[in-house]
Structures are given as structure tokens and as C-alpha cells.
Structure 1
Amino acid sequence: MTNENQTAGKKQRKLGLTSVILIALALGIVCGVIFHYLIPAGTMRDDIFVNGIFYVVGQGFIRLMQMLVVPLVFCSIVCGAASIGDTKTLGTIGVKTLIFYLCTTALAITVALCMGNLLNPGLGVDMSSILVSDTSSLDKAQSNNQTVADTLLSIIPKNPVNALASGDMLAVIFFALFVGIIISIMGRKVETVHRFFEQFNDIMMKMTSIVMYVAPIGVFCLLSRTFANVGFEAFMPMVKYMLGVLLALAVQCLVVYMIMLWLLARVSPIMFLKKFFPVMAFAFSTATSNATIPLNMETLERKMGVDRRISSFTIPLGATINMDGTSIMQGVAIVFTAQLFGVPLGPVEYATVIATATLASIGTAGVPSVGLITLSMVFNSVGLPLEGIALIMGIDRILDMTRTAVNITGDAVCTTVVAKQAGRINMDVYNDPDAGKDVDVPDAA
């Protein structure tokens, strides 16, 4: 019994990846500030550490993330699109659900871009001393004179293989959606192909989790180099970025969703929040949409009177394709990084961000921190340097927990609206404050 207690104690004392990344964030800032203010310039500081060890290890981590982007997004979107074949069983309900999810995601990214431009989190810091990993991405952003029509046409790839090789993400997403829909239509005839993409997607998710385990080292080196070059003034943009994401999430959850409930379903938003808050708290603690699926469905049925046949379709689908919170993070991050590195973004670039982030949400798995991988894809679509992710990654877990709560709230709002319009919600249960009080919230640990 003593050995079991000792083993349990060791497990409890073991730091999780989140804690290690946060420690690496703090140590990276401290180390960078020490190098900037206390260590004199010279070969040892500048050549061996700042532009040597810190640069090579940091850029190596960025390259690992770049390596994952295309195969991960392609396989995830193929699998996500292939799984929506069940819409046939729900007819117009399925179509409404898909349209609702895509519209709220596009609206979320728009809210985020507006919030980012309102707060200007990346202005006021000179980042010119930090070399970008790929200067061609900056050249692309600064020389992009495509019209909106050209941008729309470029979504359709002339050569899908070339689009995959060059990382043309809008074209990759379009082709992946096309393949996934065809797999869904053909069903059993292409069951082997479907299984291949599902298994390859599992491989990419495992690879992503492995890469995330070296994230603390990458974050430490990237932030050490950033603060060694810029100094402590680089800290304020991080605070403003975090504030921008949290405010945008609050607007989406407490304003946009509640207005939708009132206008489209004619139900009480206050009652919804009171009954759904335990699910939001559970999602916040786990930072994974997939883990909340059973509790979400149980709450909607027992506390709000939603027909199980509706929620059993809309909630799992939402955990796959409805990532409003993640899209908000990506929108604010785009503005933050563009301002930080002085990359101008025009209407075409903003339209590209909205389209890319909306389509990418279809392939964003409901697991912690995978949004950072798809964020690099959105960066690529408008030619932003990935160094901006280094500043974001250290504080991402806190934001990840918050945006997951928003993600699953969006799923529940959509389900409530669709069920109400289809006449498949018991309003007596919904309006009863004591309904479903025995629904248990599982331990997040």
C-alpha cells in the first residue's frame, strides 16, 4: 500500500507539458533580459548564444511545426469532410447545422480581426533586429497585389500535387474537402481509402504530440533570442495580445451567441448560460472539445430538453468542424504578428484569413494546442513569419482553455437553435431551472 501511495505521489508531482512550457516561457524571458541588459555584446553573446544556439534550436522547432502543417491539415480535413455523410439522415437539419457552424466561424474570425485592430497589440515594438526564418514570406505579403477575383480563383488548384508541395493552403483545403466529400458519397466502395486517411491522420496527430513535447526547448530558445535582441519591451505586446483574445472570446460567447439564441430560437440566453456553465467549466479545465462531447449531449437533453437525435449529430460534428474560439485566437494572432513585424495587410489579405481560418476549422482536431499548428497554416496563407508563434505559444494554454469553452458553447447554441426550429426541444424542460440537476460533471483530472 505504501508503494502504491508513493507511485501516486510521484504521478501527482510530475509536471505536465503545460507547466513545463510555462516554466520555459518564464526562463526564456529571464534569460533573454539578462543577455540584453547584463551581458556585453561580443562573440560569446551574439555569435555563440543569440545567433548560434538560440537561433538554431528555435528555428529547428519552427521547421518541425512547418513540416507538420500540410499533411496534418490535409488528412484532418479529408477525414472531417468524409464524416459528414450522416447529414443524409437528418436532411435539412444537417444542412442548417453546417451552414450555422461555418457562418459563426467566419463571424468569430471577423470579431477577432476587429478586436486586434482596435487594440493594436503588436505596435510600438522594434522587431527589426530579429531575423525571420523565411524572408520570402515577407516578400510575398508585401508584394501581393492579387485582386479578390484572383484570390478566389486560386482556391481551385491547377495541380493538387504542386499545391501540396508548395504549401498553398487554400488550394490544399479545397482539394481535401473535395476528396473527403467524394469519400463520403461513395461510402463502402472506398472504405479502404477512408481507413487509410483516418490512420494517416492518427499518425500525424501522434507526430504533433511528439513535436509538442520539445516545445519547451523551442519556446525557451525563441523567447531568449527575442528578449535578448529587443529587451523587456517585448513583454507588453504579449499582454495586449492575450487581452485581445480574451475580449474577442467574451464578445463571441456573451454577445454573438446570446443574440443568436434570442433571435433564431426565441429562448432565454440567461437560462442557457445558467444551465450550461458546468459544461463550460469542464471544457475550460480539460482544454479539449472531444472530452466534453458526452457531458454536452447529456446537459442538452436533460437540462434543456433537446432531442437526443439532434444533439448526437450536431455535437460530435461541432467538435470536428466548429472551432470559433480557435479562429478568434488565429485572427488576433494574425493582427498581432503583422503589426509586430511591420507586414501590411489589406482587404485581400483579411479576406484570405477569414476564408482560410473558416475552412481550416473543419480540420482542427478537438485536442489541446493543435490550433497552433493550423495557425502556422493561416500565417503561411498571408505570408507572415512564424516567429510570432514563439511569443504566443508560452501563454497559449491559458487561452486554449478559454477558447475551448467558447468552442463547445458554440456547438450547444447551434444545437439549441436547430432543435428549436425543427420543433425538437421540450420548452418546459428548458425553462425549468431545476431540470437535470442530477447531471454529473466528471472530474477534469
Structure 2
Amino acid sequence: MAAVDTYEKGAPIEENITRESSQTSPTPQHAQDGEVVKEKLGARVLRNLKTPGSAIQIVLAALVAVGIGLAVSFTVDDIPEAAPVVLQIPGTLWLRALRATVLPLIVTAIILAVQNLKAMTKGGSKLAKWTISYYVLTTVLAVVHSMILMDLVWSNLMVQADADSLEVAEEDQETIDERASQQPHDIVVTVFTSFIPQNVFQALAEDQLLAVLVTAVVVGCLLKPNSSLLRAIKEIDRIVYVIIEFLIKLAPIGVFFLIVSNLMTLDVATIGQNLGVLIGASLAGMFIHLLIFLPAIFWIFTRQNPFTWWLKHAPAWILAWGSASSAATLPVTMRCLDKNKVPKNVYKFTAPLGCLINMDGTAIYFPVVVVFLAITQGQVLNAGDYALIVILSVLSSIATTPIPSSSLVLTVIIADSVGIPMTGMYAVVVAIDWFIDRFRTALNVSSDIFAAKIMAKVTGITDDNLDAGEDGQAVEEVDRVMRENQAPR
């Protein structure tokens, strides 16, 4: 998801929608003036080109790196052994810095997410419970079918990259060897014992993600809304946001040096095949979820044609694809839901909440990338690893933050949790993330669109029967939470 727009503090979401749409929508004169539109488009592209860490910069950096790497590999017969190692240093430093932000990011995100959900379900709101249950259900479903397809279909089409280009740190290799020697019963014991840490500080120091996540959920449940510790966690969260935004701005540099150094030794045909499978697996999983699972759930609850309903909201998911931001698409999403007669009191809760926790596209993408990194680096995943990836993908998708390419950061820690080292293949993932991110966002928004109608049907809420009771409080609470999440980072 891309960075979100700032909402006016204290104003209801509906007012912010009107204000934002009036600021961003072109005037009729502009719509009729081809030259003005063309100038605006050119200015927008130029601005994106100048923006540090933009998708255009990352793509250009990747293309330049591919060009230089291929030119060197085809024209130089004997590449000095030190050349790719030295060239990889800037990319390695960038990747290490990115990994350093992961643990504080996931801890603060989980604690704050739990706090937000507690506030939204205060008073036992029927609307809140149904909505959150739907979002969790579709997320789990997305992760499970993505993992099944990866194991049965897509993993068989991937090939291991050239070993000379995949230098693995000694400590990472020890972890890989240790996991490979585990027996099935050891795997079961490891999965269950990893939920509860013997020492919380040791779990933090050793990046035991599952134990850290469970601890964060418990802390989030027990913290009081006015706690000084919660205020400190919010400050840490803001600091982590600033650091990650800075590192994302450096992404073109990191991607360039990671790719150019590895292309000097990587087999180009191998990269092309693996890259095609990665893109194909990601998009296939998303379209299966969009065209089969979500419509089936929609029909079961509403007995209406899901595809007709989805097409009626085309402006929302088309904008989501173009902007790669479900938060930036929120005004259009809510306007479409209103136009199609979804009760205002329903979509004012479900749509903003979906921007925070409903990330079906991201949930599908996590298993694809992690399995891709494992197979292309010659690592065999066992049943325990698959189970751990499923659990972490569900939790991480809910905790995904509104930062451009924040899923890249979470991918690193999921891979770490199953002992997958970060090598040059990670640069391939970064280079194409901007493209797949658009489809992830379109799927996320589409799921929100289906959810709004389902919630209206199962709760029976209309604009006339929602007063200041439990569900009314839930709608007001989501207004408050969205304002906090839209605040400048």
C-alpha cells in the first residue's frame, strides 16, 4: 500500500471525502482541454521521477542494473572475483538496515492494531464483529489457497539459481542445515513451543517472530487506552515509520547494486524463468480469490450476482489499481457504495476498517514470495515451515502498514522466521513489487466492496435503524481510528 493522504483532524470521514474529491477531481475545463490534461500528466510523471524511492525510480534502477550486468557478463570472460562482492556492499548495507526495522515495526503495528480493534468492538457491536470476522476469514482463505497452489503447482516450475551467486552467511547456513535435519515430530513440537517464549527479551534479540507476535497481541489486549506505555509505543511507531520511509527512498540504490552485482554471475535464463513464475503465481492466486472465492462468499450471504455488484464499483477498483493505495481510493470506494444504496452507517465502518486490516492481496503475496526465495536458493521447506508461513502471513497482512512497499519489509521477517537467507534473489522481488502491488491493492478494495453489501445483509442495518447504540458507537469509533491512522507520519 502506498502512503495515505492526510485527513482533517476532527472531521468526520464523510466530510473528508467531499473535501478530498473536490481537491483531486479535475474541473470540466481541464477535462475538455486536452493540452492541459497532457501537461498535467507530463508534470505528474516528472514529479514521480524526481520523487526518491518512487516506483519509476526503482524500475529505472533495475533496468539500468540489468543492462550493465548483462553487458558485463556477456563481454567480460573473466570477471574478477572481488568485483561483484565489492559492488554488492551498498545493496547489502541497505538490506541489513531494512531488516533492522522489521522487529520494532511488527511489534508496534500488532499492539496498535489490537488496540484499534478493541476500540471498534467496544460494547459488543454486531456490525464490528461480523465485519472483523469476514476480514479475518477472507485473509486466512487467501493465505491457505495461495500456499496450496505454491506447493502443488508453482514450486515445480521454479529452478534453483546459480549457487555461485547466492552467497549465504555462515550463521544462515547453520540455520538451514539445522532445519533440514529435523524429524517430523520435532517440527510439530517446534511450531507449538514457538508460540510461547521462555524469555521475552531473548525472543526479541533472536528474532523469534511468532513468540514476539503472541507477546505483542497479549500486550495490546492488556494495555489501557490512556496508558503512558501505549503513548510511548505510538511514538516508537512514528519513529519506525520515518526510518522506513527514508530506507524506501534509498530503494533504487539498493536494488541497483544488488541486481548489478548478481547479474555478473547469475544465469539470465534462470532469472527470467523464475521471475515469470513469481509474477504468474502472484496474479493467478489473486484472480482465483477475486473471481471464485469472494463471489462464492458474496452469493452465499446475499443470493445476488457477485460479478454485477463488482462491476458496478469499477471506478473504485480501477483507481485502486492505478494508485496502488486502498487508502487513497477510500473516497471513491465509499462514493460507489453510497451510489449503489449500501447503508451509509454500514460502509462508513466497513470501508475504512478494510483499509486498515483487510489485505487479501498481500496475504496471497507473502507465501508466494517466501516460497520463491526458498526454492530459488535451494532450500527445502518442511511441513512446519509451511504452517509457520501461513500463520505469519495472516498476522503480517493484518499488520501491514500504510507505507509504500511495506510488504517488502514484512516479507524479510517471514523469510527469516523459516531460515531463508536474503541474497540477490530478494532484489528481483523488490524490482517487480511496484507492478504486483497494483493488483494486490485492487483485490483489497474489491474485498471491501463485497464486504459492505454482505454486512448490510447479515446485520439488517439501514440508515434509519442505527442510532447511538452499540453499532452507532462503532461507526463513530472507526472515524476516530481512521483519523489517527491518517495523521502525518
TM-score exceeds 0.5:
yes
- Are the aligned partners of 1:141 and 1:344 in contact in 2 as well (CA < 8 Å)? no
Partner of 1:201: 237
- Are the aligned partners of 2:316 and 2:329 in contact in 1 as well (CA < 8 Å)? yes
For residue 199 of structure 2, the aligned residue among 155, 159, 164 is: 159
Which deviates the most, 118-127 or 230-239? 118-127
Amino acid of the structure 2 residue aligned with 1:172: V
Partner of 1:124: 159
Mapping of 1:286-325 within 5 angstroms? 286-303=323-340, 305-325=341-361
Distance in 2 between the 1:268 and 1:229 partners?
A: 52
Residue 352 of structure 1 and its aligned partner are, at CA, apart by 0.6
Partner of 1:385: 421
For residue 101 of structure 2, the aligned residue among 61, 64, 68 is: 68
Distance in 2 between the 1:90 and 1:299 partners?
A: 28
Which deviates the most, 314-323 or 338-347? 314-323
Mapping of 1:220-259 within 5 angstroms? 220-233=256-269, 234-259=271-296
Which deviates the most, 246-255 or 137-146? 137-146
- Are the aligned partners of 2:115 and 2:221 in contact in 1 as well (CA < 8 Å)? yes
Structure 2 SS opposite 1:147: helix
Distance in 2 between the 1:109 and 1:364 partners?
A: 14
Distance in 2 between the 1:121 and 1:29 partners?
A: 26
- Are the aligned partners of 2:361 and 2:443 in contact in 1 as well (CA < 8 Å)? yes
- Are the aligned partners of 1:287 and 1:367 in contact in 2 as well (CA < 8 Å)? no
For residue 319 of structure 2, the aligned residue among 282, 287, 301 is: 282
Residues 425 and 251 of structure 1: CA distance in aligned 2, closer, same or farther (over 3 Å):
farther
Distance in 1 between the 2:157 and 2:100 partners?
A: 27
Structure 1: gaps of 5 or more residues: 1-5, 427-445
Residue 298 of structure 1 and its aligned partner are, at CA, apart by 2.8
- Are the aligned partners of 1:330 and 1:375 in contact in 2 as well (CA < 8 Å)? yes
Q: Deviations over 1:200-245 (max 9, x none)?
A: 2122112111101111111111111222112312122112111110
For residue 458 of structure 2, the aligned residue among 421, 425, 438 is: 421
For residue 182 of structure 1, the aligned residue among 209, 222, 228 is: 222
Partner of 1:435: none
Distance in 2 between the 1:121 and 1:367 partners?
A: 33
Q: Does 1:138 align with 2:176?
A: yes
Mapping of 1:294-373 within 5 angstroms? 294-303=331-340, 305-373=341-409
Residue 269 of structure 1 and its aligned partner are, at CA, apart by 0.3
Structure 1 SS opposite 2:460: coil
Distance in 2 between the 1:197 and 1:268 partners?
A: 45
- Are the aligned partners of 2:109 and 2:399 in contact in 1 as well (CA < 8 Å)? yes
Partner of 1:115: 149
Amino acid of the structure 2 residue aligned with 1:174: V
Q: Does 1:376 align with 2:412?
A: yes
- Are the aligned partners of 2:102 and 2:413 in contact in 1 as well (CA < 8 Å)? yes
Amino acid of the structure 1 residue aligned with 2:216: A
Q: Does 1:171 align with 2:208?
A: no
Distance in 2 between the 1:88 and 1:243 partners?
A: 42
Residue 40 of structure 1 and its aligned partner are, at CA, apart by 2.4
Partner of 2:486: none
Residues 352 and 29 of structure 1: CA distance in aligned 2, closer, same or farther (over 3 Å):
same
- Are the aligned partners of 1:353 and 1:378 in contact in 2 as well (CA < 8 Å)? yes
Partner of 1:105: 139
Partner of 2:306: 269
Which deviates the most, 20-29 or 383-392? 383-392
Structure 2: gaps of 5 or more residues: 1-38, 464-489
- Are the aligned partners of 1:368 and 1:400 in contact in 2 as well (CA < 8 Å)? no
Regions of 4+ moved over 4 Å: 6-12
- Are the aligned partners of 1:289 and 1:366 in contact in 2 as well (CA < 8 Å)? no
Amino acid of the structure 2 residue aligned with 1:355: I
Distance in 2 between the 1:212 and 1:143 partners?
A: 37
For residue 56 of structure 1, the aligned residue among 89, 94, 98 is: 89
**TM-score, length-scaled by structure 2:** 0.79
Structure 1 SS opposite 2:421: coil
Residue 302 of structure 1 and its aligned partner are, at CA, apart by 2.7
Distance in 1 between the 2:182 and 2:102 partners?
A: 22
Distance in 2 between the 1:239 and 1:213 partners?
A: 27
> RMSD value over aligned CA atoms?
2.3
Q: Deviations over 1:235-292 (max 9, x none)?
A: 2211211111011111111111111100123222022111222111111111122222
Amino acid of the structure 1 residue aligned with 2:457: K
Residue 319 of structure 1 and its aligned partner are, at CA, apart by 1.6
Distance in 1 between the 2:386 and 2:243 partners?
A: 31
Distance in 1 between the 2:328 and 2:179 partners?
A: 38
Q: Does 1:21 align with 2:54?
A: no
Amino acid of the structure 2 residue aligned with 1:21: I
Distance in 1 between the 2:322 and 2:42 partners?
A: 21
Amino acid of the structure 1 residue aligned with 2:108: C
The count of corresponding residues between Structure 1 and Structure 2 is: 413
Amino acid of the structure 1 residue aligned with 2:240: M
Q: Deviations over 1:62-102 (max 9, x none)?
A: 10111111011111111111111211245233222222222
Distance in 2 between the 1:9 and 1:407 partners?
A: 29
Partner of 1:86: 120
Distance in 1 between the 2:259 and 2:396 partners?
A: 28
Distance in 1 between the 2:339 and 2:123 partners?
A: 23
Residues 400 and 180 of structure 1: CA distance in aligned 2, closer, same or farther (over 3 Å):
same
- Are the aligned partners of 1:122 and 1:337 in contact in 2 as well (CA < 8 Å)? no
Distance in 2 between the 1:8 and 1:343 partners?
A: 45
